[in-house]
Amino acid sequence: SSGINAEYGQQQQTKGSDAFSYLQSTAIDTYRTHPRKRRRLNSAQILKLEQCFVEQAYLSTRDRYNLAKTLAITETQVKIWFQNRRAKSKRMKSERLQFDSVDRNI
């Protein structure tokens, strides 16, 4: 009976891995043949995003939804823009601090 179970288990593993490899290859093929185009924001959208960022660096889910609707872009685009803008802000602050410390040493 253990031989039957072992054989059945092997068959199941093979079927499962075949299905997985099929789905994986299909997903990869789809991705390679249809890459997403980068959607650039226009200057009015960027201006509005910057204004909102000055008011608050972190958006609630509701604020993100409303801003996306207002600007006619996706919530994901808003989320990513804010993540990138916070990183830029942090980097700029760090550069200012370095510049100030070098300036004091002169």
Question: Burial level of 52, CB count in 10 A (0-12/13-18/19+)?
Answer: buried
CA distances (Å), origin 70, targets 30, 49, 64 = 32, 11, 10
Rounded average pLDDT per 10-residue block, the chain, 106 residues: 52 56 59 76 98 98 98 98 97 87 68
Residues near 89 by beta carbon (within 8 Å), at least 6 away in sequence: 53, 57
pTM above 0.75, yes or no: no
